Structure 1
Amino acid sequence: MKRLVRSFGFAFKGLRYATKTQPNFQIHLAAGTAAIALGLCFRISINEWLWLAVSIAIVLITELLNTSLETLTDLVSPTYNEKAGHTKDAGAAAVVIAALFALITGAVIFLPKIINLFWHAA
């Protein structure tokens, strides 16, 4: 049990590190929080909540993996190395794909509701 508690401690330490030092992670946290607030405002369905949760999780997970990949790459290759650059670029590309998935998911969920809101307000 003690090992399990310690492993959670390490996980939260990593989460704290990313939150404090990674501007992109902070941006994704803010965007996820905004999406949750919109979901509450629009009272989205259970299925929409599931898609929203999956989208937020995928983006945060890929951002954390990219952070660890970049940190490790910097450790093993402190000077410029073309292959190290490719490694970092591929990690960043994974985050971009995840963020695009989340953006499209958010648009599918929220755009009809926003359009409907303005349509009825006019």
Structure 2
Amino acid sequence: MAGGSFRKSLGYALAGLAYTLRTQPNMRFHFGAALVVVAVALLLGVGVRDLLIILFAIALVVIAEMFNTAVETVVDLYTAKYHPLARVAKDVAAGAVLLAALNSVVVGLLVFYPYLHAFVRFWARSWRGGN
């Protein structure tokens, strides 16, 4: 039955997301940071296009973290002993997360700059008495 297969697949996917959140401190950090970023974006009135760009950057980090977790888990399943190729696999996966996270920082700076600049100018004018 096709509907049952979709439900099972969705259940497995949600279980994978829950596992990653439950066992990976970095994933919890990424989710917390994402909530803060989205809240700030909404408070600053970030436009829909800019919000979509932010959400794509967030999704990229989360996806990279999940692939990193999958790679580390498979490597650990395969061997408990140190192996240079196992180390390479884990390092490359971690490097992907690092690049995704750096990308999200750059995206955040580029997207938020005009909004933060306008916000600071507004408050600076208000503080000086409207001049």
Once the two structures are aligned, what percentage of the paired residues are identical? 33
Unaligned runs of 5+ in 1: none
Please tell me whether the aligned partners of residues 20 and 66 of structure 2 are also in contact (alpha carbons under 8 angstroms): yes
The one-letter amino acid paired with 2:74 is L
Cα deviation, residue 112, structure 1:
2.8
Instruction: Name which of structure 1's ranges 37-46 and 105-114 shifts more when overlaid on structure 2.
Output: 105-114
Q: CA RMSD in A?
A: 1.0
Structure 1 residue runs of 4 or more that deviate by more than 4 Å after TM superposition: none
Distance 2:117 2:83 in 1: 49
- Specify the code of the residue in structure 2 equivalent to 1:19: L
**Matched length:** 122
1:86 to 85, 88, 91: 88
Please say if residues 61 and 104 of structure 2, whose CA atoms lie closer than 8 Å, have aligned partners that are also in contact.
yes
Residues 15-54 of structure 1 correspond to what in structure 2 (within 5 A)? 15-54=17-56
1:5 maps to which of 4, 7, 22? 7
Q: Bigger shift: 109-118 or 96-105?
A: 109-118
Query: 2:122, 2:45 → 1: CA distance?
Result: 17
TM-score w.r.t. length of structure 2: 0.89
Shift of 1:90: 0.2
Counterpart selection for 2:68 from 43, 66, 71: 66
> Normalization by structure 1: what TM-score?
0.95
How far, CA to CA, are the matches of 2:113 and 2:91 in structure 1?
A: 31
Shift of 1:117: 2.0
| 1:6-39 CA distance string (max 9 Å, x none) | 1111111111100111000001101111111011
Q: In the alignment, does 2:108 pair up with 1:106?
A: yes
**Higher Rg:** 2
Tell me, in whole angstroms, the C-alpha distance in 1 between the residues paired with 2:109 and 2:19.
30
One-letter code aligned to 1:43: G
CA contact (8 A) 2:65 2:97 kept: yes
